[in-house]
Amino acid sequence: MHVAIVHDWLNQYGGAERVLEALHALYPEAPVYAAMYGPEVMPPAYRTWDIRTSFMQRLPLVISRHQIYLLLYPRAVESYDLSAYDLILSTSSAFAHGAIAAPHAPHVCYCHTPMRFAWNYDEYVRHERIPTVLRWLLPLFLSRIRQWDRRTADRVDYFIANSRNVADRIAQFYGCESTIIPPPVDVSRFQPAGRAEVGDYYLVLSRLIPYKRIDVVVRAFAQLDRPLWIVGDGRARPDLEASATPNVRFLGRVPDEEIAGYYARCRAFIFPGEEDFGITPLEAMAAGRPVIAYAAGGALETVNEGQTGVFFREQTPAALIEAVRACEALDFDPATLRRQAERFDVVSFQARVRAFVDDCLARGVRRPSREERS
């Protein structure tokens, strides 16, 4: 059986790429199609993969400023020649689900979310530094983008949602059913530290982009006499550094082999954004550390308040400060934290995806034919 994997883009590393890695491990011979690929900003292991890009790969600044080419992605994803494959497996938070499979080939989409900027534009632009021209143009094209997004959802035979939150959006925006399979956590990478080894710093590990709301954490810790360590990089970093106080350290990108140690020795992990799911809180739990999370999105499905972490219910420094102090008053059991993470282990994820895909192959193509759509 010939399998192709379609991903939105490969110019940043986050939770979607960890899902991609787990899927690629299931189908290691499958080529990965992406609009563009920046080897220098992706893990070295990707250089051993068969990665195939679109015409967008040749565009200037596409790796660092991919947002300016937003209107070209539909054309890019539709340009892939997938006629030789018996199964298309897409991982999509924007355009990848629009890939065109051969008539005989089922298309299974692991959906991280229907595209935020199309369906929740006002919230998206509130925190994103979008170029002025694009900010002016986007509303003019949003109706067409939404129409394309809804229409191309019919190219998918079977949706997997990464959370209940996303399953509800798939039903609302696409009118489609989905099966929930949470993203994978490689629990084996992490081990709790001894109590004496735990430090006094709080940890953020994230891409530093506006919607992640790291700004709330930096502003809160300007009023707290606790160390804050921030691991990660991104376009919001200069603004965050400019507003940070001396107790905040920016560590940039950290090698994978060092990440586990940062988790295991932190006082608590802080997760301030509203994510569709969020893998990093579970990585912190796998390392035996509690999570202070904004009470929205996927965190509601992974953090058990009082047992594995603490919630704050407004994205404000004051609410986060109160949550930090509440967390310090509690005693968390590392074994309980790790057991929660183990529910989402990568081995379980891969087994569930494999079983789901095998069932989809047995059931065959469900999307309407061209004649049925006309």
215-251: per-residue pLDDT in tens?
999 999 999 999 999 999 998 999 999 999 999 999 9
The CA distance from 289 to 281, in Å, is 9
Look at residue 125 in the predicted model and tell me its pLDDT: 62
Q: What is the pTM of this model?
A: 0.82
The CA distance from 59 to 63, in Å, is 9
Residue type, 366: R
- pLDDT exceeding 90 applies to what percent of the chain? 82
Q: What is the mean pLDDT of residues 141-163?
A: 94
At 21-75, the pLDDT tens digits run 999 999 999 999 999 999 999 999 999 999 999 999 999 999 998 888 988 999 9
| CATH homologous superfamily for the domain 187-342 | Glycogen Phosphorylase B; (3.40.50.2000)
Look at residue 372 in the predicted model and tell me its pLDDT: 47
Query: CA triplet 54, 153, 365: central angle to 5 degrees?
Result: 95
| Coil vs helix vs strand at 133 | helix
At 87-113, the pLDDT tens digits run 999 999 999 999 999 999 999 999 999
The pLDDT confidence band at residue 276, using thresholds 50, 70 and 90, is: confident
Look at residue 373 in the predicted model and tell me its pLDDT: 43
Chain-centroid distance, C-alpha 166: 12
Contact 128, 116 (CB under 8 A): no
| Tokens 């629009």 found at | 98
The CA distance from 177 to 160, in Å, is 9
Q: What is the mean pLDDT of residues 303-328?
A: 98
* Buried b or exposed e, range 161-184, using 16+ CB within 10 angstroms: bbbebbbebbeebbebebebbbbb
Structure token pair of residue 83: 């006629």
> What average pLDDT is seen over the chain?
93
**pLDDT at residue 119 is higher than 60:** yes
Domain with CATH 3.40.50.2000 in the chain: 187-342
The CA distance from 324 to 296, in Å, is 17
Contact 231, 204 (CB under 8 A): yes
CATH code for residues 3-184+346-373: 3.40.50
